[in-house]
Amino acid sequence: MNDGNKTGRRAGALCCAAALTAFALLGVMSALTLWSADDMLYATFLDDGWRTYAGLLRWHYQEFNGRVLVHMAAQVILHFHIWLFVLVSLAAALAVPLSAGAAAGLERRQLPMAAAVFLCCLPAVPARILCQGWFWISAFCNYVLPTVMLCVLILLAGGLERGGWGRKTAFVLLAAACGASTEQSGAAAVVLTVYFLIRALVKRRGAVTAGAACAVSVAGLASIFCSPATRKRMMTEVKINSLRELVEKLLKELGPAAGEFGESLLVPALFAVLFILTGVIAGRRLRKRWPVLAGLALALAPAVSLFTAGMARALLYAALCVAAAVCAVCLIALGRETPGLLTLTGLATLGVILLTDSAGERTLLPLCLYFLAAVAVLAAPELARLGKGGLTAVVAGLTVFAVAASVPLLTGIVDNYKIELENRENIKTARGSGELLYNIDYDMTYTWTKCDVTFKEEFLRENGLPEDTPVYFYTRLRPNVIAGGVPHFPVLQTEEGEDYITIRVVEFLDGTVEPLNSSYTELRVVTPRRECTVTAVTPNWAVFTWTEDGMDYRLETPRIAKEGRTYFPIEAYTRALGLQVTFDGTDYYVSVPET
């Protein structure tokens, strides 16, 4: 008995050491997180007192979106700056595996194992998904916090039949908060609470509490869709009128998602391990070999996905998601309810977001977290079966894996932080000079956009600069564009090696750019030489039309719209706008010809 206790303590200590290593790395990366986009807006919400804050919340609900609850969390975190985010980030990283493990009924010595698996594999989530979903504070509150809340909801649901009124009240309140979090997690909360209600009705115990939780989660989700801004957004993004359009939409959006999953071995590995462990558990319960063989056979499919692309990969991932849903149902039937529910919840968050035009890297993070938690919960009891030597080898492997996966991630984050420090010095200089030079050499793989359309409005205010401060962007990685003697936004380089210049460069040459419609697809561009109309005939193609010496001219040219800016090739500026563009081997100089 004593030997068994000593072995259990050694196993727990080893797993704690692995988890702490990954935990420390996550803390460093969280401390180096940069503010991006919406962060600059939310950071100012609490600056002017509670009455102003209430007005801003009202504006947010009516004009921005209905995710008031999670964005309130972002506003509080940003108000107290990075130290609070570090604490919340670390707490979330522990809360997901520990609440999932407790809900699954893991033994005390198995909980550190589940935490070690989760934390050591977390840095291997594809970099764009992780950095845009976890290391962007506003997105963290959109995608990570609701994941924590739903994991805790599953934990509370496990003891409803024997729990007191305190637990039942907490369960109902949390269900309401989950429903009101985001469209993605709110829909998942409704699915979960409907399941808990059905389970309670079958067992004839706890139906009142489960029914109340279901009702308030639906009400919470409805509160998001009651937002005028959310309704407007959904009307433009969700246009599905038939089953065929539904399938086409899912496959269309699943293609880019599958491409992101393929950026790392982790997501295919999670599918494979889920299939294998489900087969092992089913085989052990049924005392048959075929479930194990079926699980091993299914595990080959995620490996095949690494060698596919485009529609083939999208179709393969659609099949993998169906297979994962079947595994989840099997796990629930086999008494492994928690990992089964985590898997279904992850698939629900993916399905909901694929129905909209908002699917992007960060929206895929909940699926990764739920699958990772499910695999951690399933793996912990299997790891406990290993002997001392086997467990030591696995834990050592996990630690090495966590460090190896963190090195490129941490390197990219540190490099971006160096650029941030340079820009902080530029801000100090701007307070005296009245002009801000801003380095845009951030690697967007490891942060979210730093210079989108909200930059000028919110960034200047957050950093105490006047709203009319001129901002000049520069880079050391590609040619700058010099117009009117000052740097404008640098060129955008395509994969083919062509350089594109943003149309706003004419404003540095006493010109104007005036949108002729609300979608900015038609512009009136005036330079000292001539006036042009620019019409976007497709998202990637535009037509310049102008009149000169009584003759009408037309130029068709490629067009790139990115981060609120519209770019055109150099030919558009020389031929259509009558400007002079020269290259000195380092930078481009745009000017108005003298004749």
Residues 394 and 431 in one domain: no
**CA–CA separation, 100 vs 250, rounded Å?**
29
CA torsion 582→587→590→594, rounded to 10°?
Answer: -50
Q: Are residues 444 and 330 in the same domain?
A: no
Q: Angle 213-214-216 (CA atoms, 0-180°, nearest 5)?
A: 65
Domain count, the chain: 2
Where in the sequence is the domain holding 317, given as residue range(s)?
2-412
The predicted structure's pLDDT at residue 341 = 94
pLDDT tens, the chain, 595 aa long: 445 555 556 666 777 777 788 889 999 999 999 888 788 888 888 888 888 888 888 888 888 888 888 899 999 999 888 899 999 999 999 999 999 999 998 988 888 889 989 999 999 998 888 988 999 999 999 999 999 999 999 999 887 766 678 888 999 999 999 999 998 899 999 999 999 999 889 888 888 888 999 999 999 999 988 888 777 766 665 666 666 766 776 667 666 666 777 677 888 899 999 999 999 999 988 888 898 999 999 999 888 877 887 778 888 888 899 999 999 999 999 989 999 999 999 999 888 887 776 667 888 899 999 999 999 999 999 888 877 777 788 888 888 888 898 999 999 999 999 999 999 999 999 988 888 888 888 888 888 766 655 566 677 877 888 888 888 888 888 888 998 888 888 888 888 888 999 998 998 888 999 988 877 788 999 998 889 999 998 888 999 999 988 889 999 999 998 877 889 999 999 999 989 999 988 889 999 887 6
For residues 404 and 460, state if they share a domain. no
pTM of the model: 0.85
Number of H helices, E strands in the chain: 21, 15
CA distance 40 to 243: 41
Give me the DSSP letters along 370-410: HHHHHHHHHHHHHHHTS-HHHHHHHHHHHHHHHHHHHHHHH
Look at strands 565-569 and 499-502 and give their pairing.
Answer: antiparallel
Residue indicated by tokens 């070690």: 116
The pLDDT of residue 246 is 66
CA distances (Å), 252 to each of 248, 267, 289, in order?
Answer: 6, 20, 38
For residue 369, which of 105, 69, 119, 24 has the smallest C-alpha distance?
119
456 and 561 fall within a common domain? yes
Q: Which residues pair with 483 in a beta bridge?
A: 486, 590
Q: Please give the pLDDT value at position 245.
A: 67
pLDDT of 239? 62
- 407 and 425 belong to one structural domain: no
Report the amino acid identity of residue 227: S
Residues 30 and 103 in one domain: yes
Residue 29 in tokens: 């990366």
Is 430 found in the same domain as 355? no
Predicted confidence at residue 271, as pLDDT, reads: 92
Distance CA 17, CA 30 (A): 20
My answer on whether 302 and 401 are in the same domain is yes
Please check whether residues 311 and 458 belong to one and the same domain: no
Residue located via tokens 């959006």: 253
Same domain, 471 and 399: no
Q: How far is Cα 145 from Cα 134, in angstroms, rounded to an integer?
A: 10
C-alpha–C-alpha distance, residues 176 and 452, integer Å: 34
Kindly tell me the sign of the dihedral angle through the C-alpha atoms of 132, 133, 137, 143: positive
User: Does one domain contain both 60 and 77?
Assistant: yes
Residue 39 is predicted with a pLDDT of 85
Pair 555, 526 in one domain: yes
Q: Letter for the amino acid at 404?
A: A
Q: Which of 389, 412, 435 is the last residue of a domain?
A: 412
